[in-house]
């Protein structure tokens, strides 16, 4: 009797088991009932997508909580039913993802390689013995919509048991559930170009499931979990208590492991990840159930700081990869996502800052966050007037700052390629302000002039200052009727001073100096008979001008000329471009004045220092009442002068020869008559 009861019990259990298996197979078929999902599950590949409005839930994964059994389904019975059940479903009911237009998204302005503005985060919780993972896209709707799917991996005790893809609109979420024993981790890839190359993940250990009945609950866990976006909030539990640890992986990556040791988090909390220079590497949201964990992984060459609300975790020092990277199983899956994010480090990434030092000097510091510079690059440092105050070559290596110091300047600008760094104002309160003499010196000089034809056919301009002394030199030019430049230079006359400019070989000339314009209108034609100068005994007059012997010594104290200036010209001078016969760019000017009965002549070289230096000497002559009483030579550097004096009566003229090739063949002269 006892054996008979036992036999009837075994038969009953067998019939119940067969009936349950029949129900399971019917729900797994690809039917079209009114359930929340059609049974199209695949234990090795899943896809987290979003249903279109009105869809009865045609999601890949197990069929869930239907009001009727699916019809016309067919599913092969294989060993997969013996494995732990993996199901995926979508929580948000958004419309399908629309492709963005070709314009730049907000997040692409500083990162054009970023595909979209999505940012995925993962949280997990145990629902009985079922591990439930929520993948959330914290990007904003529109810009944050995922333009292409990325991959997720489900690992049990470190072994990948399922891979799939996820594509969510901004703000949407998707579910991945697992019913089985062991430590379960889900790892999700961010979109191409997402900063920091992170792989958000979460780990759970929900204990051992029951045997065969685990298939049925997992088919129904997914739909019943969909509204858990609100059910997960359990205010009656303890407050959340977040802790985090930082782990250096063998491949050199940094992993932040965040754990909730308290009650469920009622709301998501923002997190940020920044490097040692406070540059934002990643950001997103974290929301963990009680006992939940999530991890953030980054491949960088610097230390990182994770901030989650009031929780701040610093990774220091940086993580260094070991020589042979381990875990080869994961690397083939991860490498497709790693390669695009590695691209920015293939080139140097230079930034820089400028600081004011305590002593008022300026410090520029260059940083390279990319690869080492393979060769030096030229740089310049300019002041506020764009004058170069320093230049050179810099080769900045990764992680090695490159400092440059400059003293004596209020502000500077550093330029190297596309990198421009402008310093703050490091100078004292500008004292030069009072020295800015906006009011130029008053010029009360009055210039008058005359022009005449000489007996030898030359043209003589006489320029006289009848007012106060000229405060500065003024440019003059002499041109022919075709406006061709014959002569030019600079004149500066004291009160009552005059100067002569004489030119041979021209019929008409015009002298211009500021507002003073003098034109020789009538032609100056030299007389046909040659004038043979008679060197009569007028030379004997020289004794009457005996004081001329005193002229020579008086020259010496005022001579500021180096007798033989070494020419600095190596190439063509500016004045030689249109006049290659010109020896140098000097231009002599002669002025004369009386000082206590002494005739004082000033011979000035108005050429610029350098190009205007006289490379050889020219001659001057002192003429008294038409008779040459003294000759000598003059050789002046640019913008220097020499004084020659004569003591005696009569009309005294000093005439000087211009340098070889000087335009106009002029012989500047000045005439004075000083009574003794």
Domains and CATH numbers, the chain: 35-68+81-98+111-335 (no CATH), 348-434 (2.60.40), 447-519 (2.60.40), 540-673 (2.60.40.10)
Neighbouring CB atoms inside 10 A of 615's CB total 16
Q: pLDDT value at position 534?
A: 56
Distance CA 466, CA 498 (A): 9
For residue 483, give the H/E element and its range. Answer: none
Contact criterion met (CB below 8 Å) for 612 and 528? no
> Pick the residue with more confidence: 548 or 242?
242
Q: Output Rg (C-alpha) for the chain, integer angstroms.
A: 49
Distance CA 89, CA 186 (A): 15
Given a cut of 90, is residue 666 above it in pLDDT? no
Out of 88-102, 133-147, 306-320, 427-441, least confident range: 88-102
Q: pLDDT value at position 453?
A: 92
Q: pLDDT value at position 479?
A: 92
Contact criterion met (CB below 8 Å) for 468 and 496? no
To the nearest 10 degrees (0 to 180), the angle between helices 2-28 and 215-225 is: 40
Under DSSP, is residue 627 helix (H, G, I), strand (E, B) or coil?
strand
Under DSSP, is residue 187 helix (H, G, I), strand (E, B) or coil?
strand
Token duo for residue 290: 């009680």
228: confidence class by pLDDT, cuts 50, 70, 90: very low
Out of 111-125, 235-249, 423-437, 580-594, least confident range: 423-437
The mean pLDDT value for 216-232 works out to 38
Given a cut of 60, is residue 154 above it in pLDDT? yes
Nearest to 262 by CA among 237, 240, 289: 240
Token duo for residue 45: 């590949």
* DSSP assignment of 205-273: ---PPPSGGGHHHHHHHHHHHTTHHHHT--TTSPPP-EEEEEEE-TTS-EEEEEEE-SS--SS-EEEEE
The set of residues, in sequence order, having a beta carbon less than 8 Å from that of 474 and lying 6+ positions away, is: 490, 491, 492, 513, 514
Given a cut of 80, is residue 110 above it in pLDDT? no
Give 37-66 pLDDT, tens digit per residue. Answer: 333 333 444 555 444 444 433 333 333 333
Distance CA 388, CA 414 (A): 10
Nearest to 333 by CA among 177, 159, 183, 174: 159
Q: Beta strand 269-275 with 304-308: parallel, antiparallel or unpaired?
A: antiparallel
For residue 152, give the H/E element and its range. Answer: strand 150-156
Burial readout 116-135 (b: 16 or more C-beta within 10 A, e: otherwise): bbbbbbbbbbbbebbbbbbb
Determine the straight-line distance between the first and last CA of the chain, rounded to whole angstroms: 169
Token duo for residue 593: 């004045």
329: confidence class by pLDDT, cuts 50, 70, 90: low
Contact criterion met (CB below 8 Å) for 271 and 294? no
Give 450-495 pLDDT, tens digit per residue. Answer: 999 998 888 999 999 999 999 988 899 999 999 898 898 888 999 9
Give the CA count within 13 Å in the CB-facing half-sphere of 146.
27
């Amino acid at each position: 009797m006892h054996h008979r009861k036992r036999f009837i019990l075994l038969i009953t259990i067998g019939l119940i088991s067969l009936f349950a298996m029949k129900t399971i197979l019917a729900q797994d078929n690809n039917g079209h009932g009114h359930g929340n999902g059609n049974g199209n599950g695949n234990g090795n590949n899943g896809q987290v997508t979003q249903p279109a409005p009105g869809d009865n839930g045609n999601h890949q994964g197990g069929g869930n909580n239907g009001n009727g059994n699916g019809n016309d389904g067919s599913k092969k019975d294989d060993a997969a039913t013996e494995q732990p059940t993996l199901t995926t479903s979508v929580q948000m009911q958004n419309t399908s993802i629309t492709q963005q237009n070709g314009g730049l998204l907000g997040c692409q302005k500083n990162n054009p390689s970023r595909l979209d503005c999505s940012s995925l985060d993962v949280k997990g919780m145990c629902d009985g013995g079922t591990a439930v993972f929520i993948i959330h896209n914290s990007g904003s709707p529109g810009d944050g919509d995922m333009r292409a799917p990325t991959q997720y991996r489900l690992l049990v005790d470190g072994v990948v048991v399922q891979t799939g893809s996820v594509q969510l609109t901004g703000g949407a979420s998707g579910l991945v559930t697992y019913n089985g024993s062991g430590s379960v981790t889900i790892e999700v890839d961010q979109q191409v170009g997402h900063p920091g190359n992170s792989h958000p993940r979460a780990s759970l250990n929900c204990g051992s499931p029951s045997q065969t009945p685990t298939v049925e609950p997992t088919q129904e866990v997914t739909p019943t979990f969909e509204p858990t976006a609100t059910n997960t909030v359990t205010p009656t539990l303890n407050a959340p208590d977040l802790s985090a640890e930082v782990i250096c992986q063998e491949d050199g990556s940094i992993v932040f492991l965040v754990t909730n040791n308290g009650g469920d988090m009622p709301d998501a909390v923002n997190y940020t990840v920044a490097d040692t220079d406070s540059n934002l590497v990643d950001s997103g949201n974290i929301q963990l159930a009680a006992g939940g964990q999530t991890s953030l992984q980054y491949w960088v060459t610097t230390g990182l700081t994770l901030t989650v609300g009031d929780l701040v975790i610093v990774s220091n020092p940086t993580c260094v990869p070991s020589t042979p990277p381990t875990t080869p199983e994961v690397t083939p899956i991860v490498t497709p996502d790693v390669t695009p994010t590695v691209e920015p480090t293939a080139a140097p990434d230079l930034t820089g800052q400028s600081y004011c030092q305590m002593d008022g000097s300026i410090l520029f510091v260059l940083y390279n966050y990319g690869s080492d510079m393979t060769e030096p690059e030229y740089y310049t440092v300019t002041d506020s007037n764009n004058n170069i105050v320093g230049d050179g070559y810099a080769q900045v290596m990764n992680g090695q700052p490159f400092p440059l110091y400059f003293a004596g300047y209020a502000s500077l600008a550093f330029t190297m390629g596309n990198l421009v760094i402008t310093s703050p104002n490091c100078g004292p309160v500008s004292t030069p302000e009072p020295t800015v003499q906006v009011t130029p010196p008053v010029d009360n000089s009055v210039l008058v002039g005359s022009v005449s034809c000489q007996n030898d056919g030359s043209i003589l301009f006489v320029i006289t200052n009848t007012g106060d002394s000229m405060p500065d030199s003024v440019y003059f030019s002499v041109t022919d009727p075709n406006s061709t430049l014959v002569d030019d230079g600079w004149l500066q006359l004291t009160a009552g001073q005059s100067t002569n400019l004489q030119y041979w070989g021209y019929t008409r000339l015009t002298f211009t100096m500021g507002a003073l314009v003098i034109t020789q209108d009538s032609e100056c034609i030299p007389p046909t008979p040659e004038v043979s100068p008679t060197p009569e005994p007028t030379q004997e007059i020289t004794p009457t001008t005996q004081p001329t012997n005193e002229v020579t010594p008086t020259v010496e104290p005022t001579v500021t000329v180096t007798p033989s200036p070494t020419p600095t010209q190596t190439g063509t001078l500016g004045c030689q471009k249109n006049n290659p016969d010109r020896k140098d760019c000097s231009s002599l000017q002669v002025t004369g004045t009386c000082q206590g009965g002494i005739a004082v002549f000033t011979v000035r070289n108005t050429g610029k220092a350098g190009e205007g230096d006289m490379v050889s000497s020219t001659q001057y002559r002192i003429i008294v009442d038409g008779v040459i009483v003294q000759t000598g030579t003059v050789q002046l550097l640019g913008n220097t002068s020499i004084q020659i004096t004569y003591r005696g009566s009569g009309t005294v003229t000093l005439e000087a020869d211009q340098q070889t090739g000087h335009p106009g063949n002029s012989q500047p002269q000045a005439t004075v008559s000083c009574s003794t």
